Amino acid sequence: MVFIDITSAFYLGHQERGVACMADEHLRAASHRAFAHRGFGYLAEQDRFLSARETPQFGFAVIGCGIMGQEHVRNTILEGRAEVVGLYDPAAQSLACAQKVATDMGAPVPRAYASVDELCADEQVDAVFICSPNHTHLQVLQQVSQVEKAIFVEKPIATDVADACAVVKLLEAHGRVVRIGLQYRYKAVYQEAIAEVFNRGAVGSVKSVAMVEHRFPFLDKVGQWNKFNKFTGGTLIEKCCHYFDLINLFAQSKPKRVFAIGSQAVNFRDFEYQGVPADGLDQAAVTIEYANGVLGSFNLSMFVPGSREELTVCGDGGRLSAAESAQFGEVTQNRVELWMGDRGVSRRVEPKYPAYIHNAGHHGSTFYEHVAFVDDMIKGKNSGPTPEDALWSILVGAAAQQSIASGRPVEVAALMD
Ligand SMILES: NC(=O)c1ccc[n+]([C@@H]2O[C@H](COP(=O)([O-])OP(=O)(O)OC[C@H]3O[C@@H](n4cnc5c(N)ncnc54)[C@H](O)[C@@H]3O)[C@@H](O)[C@H]2O)c1
């Protein structure tokens, strides 16, 4: 029951975002987002009502301005209750691109800091987003956690269990709001799945949770850090922590034992960067046993022409599948399908967010992650995903990587030692 209370925090909920949300200020904010880029630039400020920008309540700063840092700049501006006051990145090109994201959206140019220390000293900054590569998170956090600002850390919080525990300690001791970038919980299909499984009990008591991630290879990065286990922690930590977080969430329990097989079957087998060959795996099959008896499984293939992810939850009362997929060049298809037999209404729905939110990054999930983060800052509390959630997602990934290396099942408790 406690678990149900926790997970319902991730459900956007019609009761919260229905009629009450369409009060004047929300309607204006939504109208602004929907119409801001449709040629209203000629209007003077006094003629703006629906197209008037909200006055930001908070200042955000971003450390690491690559693909994800830029997505956070975009979503901060789109969400509207905060503004991006400054950026730090050792790569000038990343910094310039992130500034352009802001100015293209009609926001002021964020200041460029010369160092993390300078960023931390800026009194305009209320929250810091850490979006540098995985292996830098702990070091950056050691600096940022010294100051009284809310902290957002991208997933995975670290590249191994020891560093992840150190990150958790720092974040749990931090006196301000903290959040981890496990935003897949906010994807439209998983929001519907959470609502069905937890709020409506649609599948009854959950017995198994299976996930599939079939996608294109890892994209280019600054310094190609994502091709090397040393910088990522391994594919099953770097990318798949999102899916282990979802499996943990639906299992409503702690992972006990993990068995996995996997290999670098196709991608980057001839790729070298500065003389070092790439070593990340690109396919895996992972089995997870949970303390409450739920069976988890995860299947990864990273050499398909498009992307498809699918969650299947089976319970003693039904089956739910939630899928998001697009072949290269095609629009994303969302689908949630529920089989309830004679217990109730079986159905198939196509959950989705407005296109301007969907297109802002990760199918709209990053936007709702920002909504939740700003809500948390206003209320002064953490709604999660918490540092502990992040640690458990890494524990499954680390156990799976170790199981692949050893050919044996891995007890998760042993990793905690
Ligand atoms: N939540 C998600 O869905 C999601 C998606 C993609 C990436 N990520 C995570 O975001 C982080 C960044 O990934 P990315 O895809 O943007 O990579 P990227 O290579 O596109 O960008 C990383 C940026 O960080 C900068 N950088 C490197 N070392 C730094 C340091 N010590 N301090 C500050 N900046 C530094 C680089 O110059 C680069 O501009 C990673 O942890 C990654 O796993 C999360």
* Residue of higher predicted confidence among 106 and 288: 288
- Grade residue 17 by pLDDT with cuts at 50, 70 and 90: very low
For residue 163, the surrounding DSSP H or E stretch is helix 161-173
pLDDT beyond 90 at 31: no
Average pLDDT, stretch 46-70? 91
Whole-angstrom distance, CA of residue 337 vs CA of residue 126:
41
Task: Tell me what the pLDDT averaged over the chain comes to.
Answer: 93
Ligand 1 pocket residue status of 386, Cβ below 6 Å: no
Ligand 1 pocket residue status of 334, Cβ below 6 Å: no
Distance 209 CA to ligand 1 centre (A): 30
Distance 104 CA to ligand 1 centre (A): 21
Which ligand 1 atom is the nearest neighbour of the CA of 222? 19
Which ligand 1 atom is the nearest neighbour of the CA of 88? 33
CB 298 within 8 A of CB 244: yes
Distance 69 CA to ligand 1 centre (A): 7
pLDDT beyond 80 at 53: no
Calculate what percentage of the chain has a pLDDT beyond 70: 93
Ligand 1 pocket residue status of 354, Cβ below 6 Å: no
pLDDT attached to residue 196: 97
Torsions phi, psi for 343 (to 5 deg): -80, -20
Residues written for the chain: 417
Per-domain residue ranges for the chain?
2-183, 184-360+383-416
Comparing C-alpha atoms, which of 288, 251, 313 is closest to residue 322?
313
Same fold yes or no, 2-183 and 184-360+383-416: no
CATH topology (fold) of 184-360+383-416: Dihydrodipicolinate Reductase; domain 2 (3.30.360)
Distance 118 CA to ligand 1 centre (A): 20
Which ligand 1 atom is the nearest neighbour of the CA of 239? 43
pLDDT beyond 60 at 13: no
Comparing C-alpha atoms, which of 237, 148, 232, 250 is closest to residue 196?
250
Superfamily of domain 2-183: NAD(P)-binding Rossmann-like Domain (3.40.50.720)
Average pLDDT, stretch 50-67? 91
Q: Whose CA is nearest to atom 30 of ligand 1?
A: 132
pLDDT beyond 70 at 19: no
- Grade residue 409 by pLDDT with cuts at 50, 70 and 90: very high
Average pLDDT, stretch 42-62? 87
